[in-house]
Structure 1
Amino acid sequence: MPRYLDPAEAKAKMIGKSVWPISVWPGSGKRWLSVCMDCGSFVTPTYRNVMQPGRGGCNPCARRKAAQTRRMPHEEAVKVMRGAGVEPLEMFPGVDVPWRCRCLSALCPGLWMGDPADIRPRLSDARASRISACKYCARSAVRPERAAQGMIENGVEPLEDYASAWSSWPCVCLRCGADDITPTYANVVLGGQGGCKHCGGRLRVSDQQAVSEMRAAGADPLEAYPGVNERWRCRCLAADCPGPADRIIYPRLGWVRRGAQACKWCAGVVIDPLAARDVMISQAGLVPQEPYPGVRERWKCRCMNCQSIVHPTLGSVNSRGTGCSECAEYGFQRGNPGLLYLVTHQRLNAAKIGICNLNTRRIERHEGRGWQLHATLAFPLGGTAELLEKQVLAEWRAQGWRPVLDSGKPYDGWTETVPLDEEITPQTLWQGILDLHELVAAGGPREALLSDDGAE
C-alpha cells in the first residue's frame, strides 16, 4: 500500500523545484496547476515527474536550457559573420534571429553621406550568402536616399518616399515637368528605361496626331492607328525606296519617335541578297562565300586582294567602310610582330588577357583605366599571339571562370577577363599561359582553332 503523502509536504517539495502550486493537491500522478518561479509561466506538471532526479516542473524553461547547451558560442558566430563581410554590434541572439551589424566594405552601397547602413542579417543567411551578408552589397536592397538619387540622375524626381524596386513611385519629370508619372525604380535605374511616359513617346495620342507624325517620318498610314508600340501598315513615301514595288512597310510609332527610320529598306536594315552581294564586292572588295545572313550577322567572304577569309558584317561595310581585316592598315596586324599581355585590376579583382602589335599604346590605355601590367610575351607574328589568346580564353571558360563585369555592366574588353581569388592568382594564370604556349608551339590545339579552309 503506497505511503500517505502530506499535501503540505508535497507543495514544499514542488516549491523546492521552482514551481509553486496554486490549486488543491490532486494526487502524485495527476497534473497540478502551478506557476514557474523562474519565468512566471502557468504549468501543469505532475508531482511524480517533478520529483524524478534531474527533472523540473517547467517545460518552457527546460527547452530554453537545452537550447543554450546546443547554441553556437558567441566568438564562433562572430567569426562566421565577419567572413560574410559584416561586423556584429551586439551579442549573438541566435541562428535565425536578426543580428544588428555593420558592413565591413568601404564601398558599401548602403553608405550615405557618411551614415552607415542599418543591417540585421541572420547567421543562417550569412552562412548561405555567396556575395555578402550585407543586403546592400548583395544587391538585394537599396538605400532609400540612393534610390532617390538614381531616379533624379535618370531625369525624374520622386515625390514620395521609396517603397520597393517594383512599386509605382510618383515622380515629376525634370525635362517636361509632368507630375502624373509613376515609374518604378527597377525599370528606370536597373533597367535603364525612361521614367516619363510623355518624353519617352509611350503615351497614346490622337489618331490625327499619330498620322501626322508618321507622315513627317516618310510613311503614309494605310490603316487606323493601332497604338504607339504596335506595327502600323504604311507605304514608304520615298521615291527612290530600294524596297519592293508596293513599298509596304510596318513601322512602329514608338520607334520613329525614338529616332528610328520608318522604312527598313531606306534605313539599310533590310536589303535584297543580290544587292547585298554587290555592295560587298564593289565597296569592300570581298566575294561572299555563303548566302546572305543579315545586315548585322558575320558574313564569310574572301578578299579579292590577299585571298584571305574574313567575316565582316554588311552593316560595318555600309556604315564604316570596313573591308578585309588582313589588308587594313589599322587595328591588329597578324603579319606583324605581336605581344600577348596579362593585366590586373585591383578594384574589379580581375585579370585580363590581350594582344597588340609592338610600338602601340594599347597597354598604356589599359593602365589609364586602372589596369596594371603583370607580364608580356613577344611573338614574331601577331597571328601566333592571337592563336594563343584564343586557346587561353577557351581554357578559362572550360574551368567555369566567367568574365568580370563592373557594377553589373560590361566595358571595353570585359569578355577577356577572369576573376581573381586565393587560388586564381596572376602568377598561376601566367604560368598556365606559358604552359599553353609550349603546347601550341608543339602543334597541340592549333588545328582546332583553324577555319575549315586552313586559314587562321
Structure 2
Amino acid sequence: MKIRAGGGCKFCATHGIDLSGQSKVYVITHQEWKAVKIGIGACTGYTSRLIQHERQGWQLHQAREYTTGAAAYDVEQAVLGRLRQAGLVPFLTSDVMPNGWTETCSATRITAAEVWTMVDEETRSAEKPYAPRVGGRPRAAVLIDAEAAAAEMRACGYEPLVPYPGRTNATWPSRCTTCGHEGRPTFNAVRNAGQRCRICRAKETQAKRAATNAPKAQETMRAAGLEPLEPYPGSQTPWRCRCTTCGRETSPTYSNVNSGSKGCRFCALNSATDERASAEVRAAGLEPLEPYPGRTTDRWRCRCSCGNEVMTRLSSVRSGTTGCKKCPRSGGRTDPATAAAEARAAGFEPLEPYPGKTTDRWRCRCRCSTAITLTLTSIRGGRTACGTCSRGATR
C-alpha cells in the first residue's frame, strides 16, 4: 500500500526528515506548560522545526549534530523507548501542540538534563552511523517522469493543459475529456485516489437522483392535471407538460407543483391566449396595436378610447388600471362625488374632475379665488387654505 501511495526508499524520500543528510537531536523545555521534549531535524532555514518550536515558547536546552539523519533518528527512538517504558510520554495533547506532542513528557517527573543524559548514553552505545549521501537531496520532479505522469492523467480522463508541475501534490491545470470542463486536480489525487471531474460527478449524482424521484414526480404532475411530455428533468428545471383541462402546453417546475401552486399558467390566469387578452383590453377601452406579447407582465402597446397611445400590461388592465395619463383614473377607493364634497367642505372648489387617487394633484379654487393644485390626502390631513390665505393671516 505504501508503494501504491507513492512511498519508496526512506533515504531517497523527498518529504520528511533527510535520513542521508546532516541532522540534529535536540532537547527543549517549556516553562508555562512544564514540559520537556526531544526531537530531531535539520534545524536549518527559517521554517525548520526547531525554530517553529521556539516561536511557541520552547527554549533550547541542548543539541547535538549527527552525520546523518538516520543516526539521529536511531538515538531519538532509543530515548523515546526508555521514556515510554517509564510511562513518561506523551504528556501534551495534539490540541495544545499539533506537531510533536507524542515526544513530550512532564517536567515535574523528569528534567531536561536527565533526558539529555539518555541522549549521551544512546549516542555512545549506537552502532556505526549510516554514510551520508553524495550530492543533494533528490527532488520530486526527478523521481516522476513527466511523460509518464501525463499518460496517467490521460488514462484517467484528463488532458493536461501545461507541463507536469514538478510535484505530485501541486495543482495541474487539465481539461476533462468527457465534459470539457477545465479544472486543477493534483496528480497525486488522480493517481492514488481516482479523483474524477467534479462536473461529471455532479451530473451523475443528479441523474441518479432524478431516476429515483421520477416515478413520484410523474404521479404528482398527473394528480395536478398535467401530463408530462418529456422525462423528469429535476425539481428546479421547467418541465414541459400538457394541461389536461385546457389542452395547452406549459412548463412548470415540479418543485412549484409539489408545493401546491397551479401547474397550468393559462388556467391560473397567469397567462392568456392572444384572443382572450385582446378581448380583456378591449373591454377596458383599449385597442391593441400589436400582438399580445405572451405574458401578463409584458408591456403592450395599445390605443386608449380617448385616442392616446399607451404602453400598458395585461396585469394592470386586470387590476383596473389602463395606464392612460389623459383619462381620469377609475377604480379608486374614493368616489368622485364624495371627493368633490370633501374638497368643498374644506373651502376648495374643484376646477376639474377628480383624478382618481388621493395622491394625484387636483386643480381647485380656494375661497380667496386663487387657483391652486392640491391632493385629497392634504385635504383629509386638515388643509383648509391656500398659501395666499396663510400669508395674509400671518400678517
- With normalisation by structure 1, the TM-score equals 0.38
Structure whose CA Rg is larger? 2
Structure with greater contact order relative to length (CA < 8 Å, sep ≥ 6)? 2
